[in-house]
Chains A and B, each alone.
Chain A
Amino acid sequence: IAGITQAPTSQILAAGRRMTLRCTQDMRHNAMYWYRQDLGLGLRLIHYSNTAGTTGKGEVPDGYSVSRANTDDFPLTLASAVPSQTSVYFCASSDSTRGDTGELFFGEGSRLTVL
């Protein structure tokens, strides 16, 4: 049982480069989320999707975009990476359309370093 799969596990990239973090789930959950986790700041919601075809902005959406073409995939794109986007990124899913009250299932994270 894979659950949530994120790729890459880690990446170093130069500032100004475009980067897409991939997220795939095999649980058929309708809601998916992207969080970033920084020391001292905890988990912060970047973008979410309550169902395929819809997306919404979270707490820190600037500089990031997402798409939800189907139920399983929820990629996160940094159009032009900046050093402040250095972080650990977690993708998560839940099985409720009102996903904020459902249990979140997290991937193992993608560690991104922007130089």
Chain B
Amino acid sequence: KNQVEQSPQSLIILEGKNCTLQCNYTVSPFSNLRWYKQDTGRGPVSLTIMTFSENTKSNGRYTATLDADTKQSSLHITASQLSDSASYICVVSTAGNNRKLIWGLGTSLAVNP
């Protein structure tokens, strides 16, 4: 069964600290993996996309990694800011003719002053 699991479920950190969010997937055949940020009361917004051949990709203070062998991805946030408080959702796309998006449940991050 195609699944995407994220950890931790929630996380509280102090402003300025770094954190890493995890995404493990059992999706086959794999096409790509995206991280979305969802602010409270808003729709999700794409942060980055990882394809099979990419190991690391940065978007400002956000750095995503992908290990296609172990089927794991991480999202590292550097020097966190209050505006980073949000839910971070990992979604994996299948390949082939019947492509589907498999969504994780998200990690809720709170950055406190």
Contact = CB atoms under 8 A, between A and B. Distances in A.
B25 interface: no
Interface of A: 4, 40-45, 90, 92, 98, 100-101, 103-104, 106-109
A40 to B, nearest CB: 7
Q: How large is the interface on B (under 10, 10 to 19, 20 to 34, 35 or more residues)?
A: 20 to 34
Given A92-B43, A104-B44, A107-B43, A45 B101 contact: yes
B98 to A, nearest CB: 9
Contacts of B42: 108-109
Contacts of B99: 98, 100-101
B72 interface: no
Q: Is the interface of A mostly helix, strand, loop or mixed?
A: mixed
A42 B104 contact: yes
Nearest to B105: A42
A108 B43 contact: yes
Interface of B: 31-32, 34, 41-46, 49, 89, 93-95, 99-101, 103-106
23 contacts: A4-B43, A40-B105, A41-B105, A42-B89, A42-B103, A42-B105, A43-B103, A44-B103, A45-B101, A92-B43, A98-B99, A100-B93, A100-B100, A101-B32, A101-B95, A101-B99, A103-B34, A103-B49, A106-B44, A106-B45, A107-B43, A108-B41, A108-B43
Contacts of A92: 43
B106 A42 contact: yes
Contacts of B104: 42
Q: What are the 8 A-B residue pairs with the smallest beta carbon separation, nearest first? A: A106-B43, A100-B99, A42-B105, A101-B93, A103-B46, A43-B103, A42-B103, A101-B31
